[in-house]
Chains A and B, each alone.
Chain A
Amino acid sequence: MVLIACVAVLPLTALAGASPFAAAGDDEELDAVHHIADGYYLDFSPIPKIELPRIFLIRDSAGKLKLDFFGSTKRAVASGRYDVIFEDAAHSAAAEDHADDEASHDDGDHSDETVEQDDGHAEDDHAEDGQAAAGAGGHNSPLDGKLVPKDGELVIDFSITRHLVFVWIVAALMIWLFVGLARRYRRGVGRETAPRGMLQNSMEALITYVRDEIARPNIGAKADRYVPFLLTLWFFILFANLIGLLPLSVTSTANITITGVLAIFTFVVVQMSGTKDYWGHIFWPPGIPIFVKPILVPIEFLGIFIKPFVLAVRLFANMTAGHLVLLSLLGLGFTLKSVYGTGGGYAGASAGVLFALFIYLIEVLVAFLQAYIFVMLSALYIGAALEEHDHHHGDDHAHDEIPQIA
């Protein structure tokens, strides 16, 4: 449902002619970190923010687990059953006021504490309260705080975040694209004849690249079993990275949770394909003096977890850093304007936009590069786990070392 809402909203943003910086320039400062961080709303400025549903799994005072569903953060706050917590106290007070504001604004409408919230209703609410929601976009809004139940404790916050929405967009795009492509192959285009069209040819090039250049050289004989996993990983990361470069969209891979889950998938696949040799090399490395083993075994053991952790952090940090740099360069104009006046603003903006263009092109490269590195290293780890050593340990360890790529 959220997905449909986003898709419906996209053309609207294109039609709205107003400058996207108008809102930012007037009453909001440009906060790069805030733009990259996850949130409980979609921001296709200049159209008003779209709040996403909040879902909480709570344990109430009676000790019973309960699922709470709200169409938006505003409704959750207005229900009166949740407190907004900010990290620093100054914000907290303001937010309380704000929340009260919201509650009086939407009077009466808030009996929806049950899971059976109807979707149409939620969307009407967005349309009506668009202006109010936009007003609530400042840093004091409950959207930036943490909601905790007044009664009982929060077990897990299952709220839909905008990064999740973009994960779903990427997933939907992939399913549409590749199931459609598979139908083409089933019809015989590309099976019995040459592939036709730019889409099929380009996708095929990427698919065969992953199979022939990533999976097969690194995994070996059993590579084809892992190709579907690697392909899914590769296209998911690539599309998420590239979609994140589109105006108004969000980079879902610039989120440590998302990249962490991807790395956990790699971790699970690697451990599940581990041979006896693989575990043997970790817990009783052969060809090494006994007194070294107590040092080496913990290191090897930690390595199992460090590898996927590094995978997750690398992707997250690269995507986050790139976007931070982009936004910082674009913010140069605003900063110089506040220091040197209008002239400085123009100078800063023109320099900033040029630099940003340069960084943007690099970001396109990085989008491909990081997807490649993630999948490449995943394949390498799987290959290392599958490797059957024939116990001559002279040069074997040379290629056991995984190259560390930034």
Chain B
Amino acid sequence: MLAVNLLSPNPGLAIWMTLTFLLLLFILRRFAWGTITSALREREERIDESIKSADRALAEAKEIQADNMKARREADQQAQAILREAREASEKIRSEEIDKTREAVQRMQEEARAEIEREKQGALAALRAEVADLAIGAAGRILDENMDGDRQRKLVDSFIQDLGTN
């Protein structure tokens, strides 16, 4: 009898069980599973999203770092170029200055030399005129009235001219 009891279905129990399970299904569906599964889904999405955004942020940071490096390198190069330019410019200015000074000095020397020459020519001319006058005076005294004044002068002048070219 007992073995039969194990295998024989009990309709009353089946109805109780059906009601119980329906109620359980309803209560858990209404008050538990919905909240739990939606919370899990929400959390999963958030985790997914944060992993993705972290990846994005990392990529961005790397990009920014690369940009920074590049900018620094460029700035370095620029600074180097500027420095070089400045050095070149200063070099140029200095050499120009030297050239200019040298030129000025030269010019001044030349001017001085020309002045000296001019002075010398003036002095020579004056000297010649004086020497001619002196010579004429001396020769006139020597020759007395034998020669008039103009002939004597021409003579002396041509003599001095010869003198000057020698």
A positions within 8 Å CB-CB of B: 31, 33-34, 36-38, 55, 57, 86-88, 144, 156-161, 163-164, 167-168, 171, 174-175, 178-179, 181-182, 185-186, 190-192, 204, 207-208, 211, 224, 227-229, 231-232, 236, 255-258, 260-262, 264-265, 320
Collect the chain A residues with CB atoms within 8 Å of residue B164's CB: none
Collect the chain B residues with CB atoms within 8 Å of residue A182's CB: 31-36
Is A33 touching B6 in the complex (CB atoms < 8 A)?
yes
Shortest B29–chain A CB gap in Å is 4
- With CB as the reference atom, state the residue of chain A lying closest to B13: A257
How far is B39's CA from A167's CA once the two chains are assembled, in angstroms?
Answer: 28
Is B9 touching A167 in the complex (CB atoms < 8 A)?
no
Is B3 touching A33 in the complex (CB atoms < 8 A)?
yes
Contact partner, A207, options B4, B21, B40, Cβ 8 Å: B40
Between A and B, 22 residue pairs with Cβ closer than 8 Å are A33-B2, A36-B6, A158-B12, A158-B16, A161-B10, A175-B31, A178-B28, A178-B32, A179-B31, A179-B32, A181-B32, A182-B32, A190-B43, A192-B43, A192-B46, A231-B33, A232-B33, A256-B6, A261-B14, A261-B18, A261-B21, A320-B6
Contact partner, B2, options A37, A224, A227, Cβ 8 Å: A37
Contact partner, A257, options B3, B10, B24, B46, Cβ 8 Å: B10
Residues of chain B from 27 to 69 with CB closer than 8 A to chain A in the complex? 27-29, 31-37, 39-40, 42-43, 46
Is A257 touching B33 in the complex (CB atoms < 8 A)?
no
B25 is an interface residue with CB less than 8 A from chain A:
yes
Is A191 touching B43 in the complex (CB atoms < 8 A)?
yes
Is B1 touching A87 in the complex (CB atoms < 8 A)?
yes
- With CB as the reference atom, state the residue of chain B lying closest to A224: B37
* Size bracket, chain B contacts: 35 or more
Is B13 touching A163 in the complex (CB atoms < 8 A)?
yes
Collect the chain B residues with CB atoms within 8 Å of residue A191's CB: 39, 42-43
* Interface residues of B, dominant DSSP: helix
Shortest B18–chain A CB gap in Å is 5
Count, A-B residue pairs, CB within 8 A: 134
With A38-B10, A258-B13 given, is the CB distance from A167 to B20 under 8 Å? yes
How far is B17's CA from A173's CA once the two chains are assembled, in angstroms?
Answer: 16
B positions within 8 Å CB-CB of A: 1-18, 20-21, 23-25, 27-29, 31-37, 39-40, 42-43, 46
With A38-B10, A181-B32, A182-B36 given, is the CB distance from A31 to B2 under 8 Å? yes
Shortest A250–chain B CB gap in Å is 13
With A158-B12, A161-B13 given, is the CB distance from A181 to B36 under 8 Å? yes
Collect the chain B residues with CB atoms within 8 Å of residue A164's CB: 13, 16-17, 20
Is B6 touching A37 in the complex (CB atoms < 8 A)?
yes
With A33-B6, A34-B2 given, is the CB distance from A156 to B42 under 8 Å? no
With A37-B5, A156-B12 given, is the CB distance from A174 to B36 under 8 Å? no
Shortest B129–chain A CB gap in Å is 123
How far is B25's CA from A238's CA once the two chains are assembled, in angstroms?
Answer: 15
Collect the chain B residues with CB atoms within 8 Å of residue A33's CB: 2-3, 6
Is A171 touching B10 in the complex (CB atoms < 8 A)?
no
